[in-house]
Structure 1
Amino acid sequence: MLMVLVLSLCGVALLLALAGLFAFGLRRRLLQRSGGTFDCNLRWNAPAPPDEYGGEYAGESDVEEQGRGSGQGSGGAQGAHGAGGRGVGGGKGWAYGIARYNGDQIEWFRVFSYAPRPRRFLERNRIEVLQRRNPEGEEELALLSDAVILACSLHGVRVELAMSEDALTGFLAWLEAAPPGQRVNVA
C-alpha cells in the first residue's frame, strides 16, 4: 500500500516536470512563430568598464532607480539585475532570453519563465550603442560560445546585450533603419 502511494507520487512529480518542460518549449515556439526573434543574453544596469586611471567613466553612475521604469511598456515588469561580480568580464548578472522585433522596439523575454509578457522593452530611438566587445573572463562561461557583447545606454542605464554575430548584424541594421528624423547612434 505504501509502495503504491510512493510510486503514484513519483509518477505525478514526473508528469508535472514533463508538463513544465513542455510549457517552456511551447512558450518558446509561440514567441518565435511571428518571426523576427533571436537568442539574446541581457545584463541590465551593467557596470561601466574602468577608465585608464582605475575609476569608472565620468558620467556613469548607478541609475537603477531611474532606469527601472525606463525601457518597459505597460507590463511594469522588473528587470534582470546583476548581483555580484560587477566588473567587466564578470560572468554574473546575465539573464538568458529571447528578443523579438516588434516595430520600433525589441521585446525581451526571459527563457526560464512562464510569463507571456516581455520582461523588457528596448525602444529603438532610446538605444545608444557605446561599444562592442568579446566576452572576457567568466563571461566566456556564462554566455554562448559565439556571443558578441554590445554595450548600450538606454534612458541613462548601461545595458549589455550578448548575441551571435549574425544576430548582431541584424540588430545594428534594425537600429540604422530608423524612420527619418529619429536620432540613432550606432558606434
Structure 2
Amino acid sequence: MPLWQWIADAAGVVLLLVLCYAIALVVRRRFIQRNGGTFELSHRARSAPTGRGWVLGVGRYSGETLQWFRIFSLSPRPRRTWRRTGLAYLGRREPEGNEQMSLYADHVIVTCGSELGDIDLAMSPSSLVGFQSWLEAAPPGQGTARQGPGL
C-alpha cells in the first residue's frame, strides 16, 4: 500500500475519533440538562495571577447543591459540588485583562465565601440573579456560611 493511502487512512481515523468525541460531548450536555436548571458557569480552579486558572463549564442546581461540570469532559459526574448552606455571596466584578479572553462574553466574576476559602465563579448577569435567589431561598434556620454584602 502506498504511503499516501496510509496517511489518508490515518487522517480518516483521526477525523472519526474527533467526530465521536464531539457527539459524546453533545450527548453528555443533553444528559446533564435533562432536569433543567443548567447555565454557563466558569470556575477558577486554581488561584493564579489575574486571568489564569479559569475553566469553562456548566452549572446545575440540584436541590441544596450547585454542581459544576467541565465543559470538555466526558464524565457524567460533577467535578465540583457546593452546598447552598456553605456559600455566601461576597461581591462581583467585571473581568480584567486576560480574563476577558478566558471567559464567556459578558460574564461577570462572582466571589463567594465558603468553609474552605473564597471561590471565584463567572456567570452571566441573568444567571447571577438566579444564583442570588437560589442562595436566599435556603429553608428557614439554615443560614449561609457567612453573610456578605448583598445578601
Same fold (TM over 0.5): yes
Once residues 13 and 137 of structure 1 are traced to their aligned partners in structure 2, the CA distance between those partners, rounded to angstroms, is 36
**Residue 5 of structure 1 corresponds to which residue in structure 2?**
6
Matched residue SS, 1:29: helix
1:10 shift after superposition? 1.4
For structure 2, the 5+ residue unaligned runs are none
Matched residue SS, 1:114: coil
Matched residue SS, 1:22: helix
For structure 1, the 5+ residue unaligned runs are 44-79
C-alpha distance after superposition, 1:87-107 (max 9, x if no partner): xxx110111010000000011
Counterparts of 1:165-180 in structure 2, within 5 Å, are: 165-180=125-140
Q: Please, what TM-score do these two structures have when normalized by structure 2?
A: 0.91
Matched residue SS, 2:121: strand
Contact 2:25 2:73 in 1 (8 A): yes
Once residues 34 and 183 of structure 1 are traced to their aligned partners in structure 2, the CA distance between those partners, rounded to angstroms, is 26
Equivalent residue in structure 2 for 1:114, among 66, 74, 77: 74
1:173 shift after superposition? 0.3
Q: Percent identity?
A: 45
1:4 shift after superposition? 2.6
C-alpha distance after superposition, 1:96-149 (max 9, x if no partner): 010000000011000011111100001100001211111112212211221111
Matched residue SS, 1:28: helix
Q: Please, what TM-score do these two structures have when normalized by structure 1?
A: 0.74
C-alpha distance after superposition, 1:139-171 (max 9, x if no partner): 122112211111011213211111001100000
Matched residue SS, 1:160: strand
Counterparts of 1:154-173 in structure 2, within 5 Å, are: 154-173=114-133
Matched positions, count: 146
Measured on the aligned residues, the alpha-carbon RMSD in Å equals 1.3
Once residues 110 and 117 of structure 1 are traced to their aligned partners in structure 2, the CA distance between those partners, rounded to angstroms, is 10
**Residue 14 of structure 1 corresponds to which residue in structure 2?**
15
**Residue 83 of structure 2 corresponds to which residue in structure 1?**
123
Greater share of residues in strand: 2
Change (3 A) 1:25 1:4: same
Contact 2:65 2:81 in 1 (8 A): yes
Question: What amino acid sits opposite 1:126 in the alignment?
Answer: G
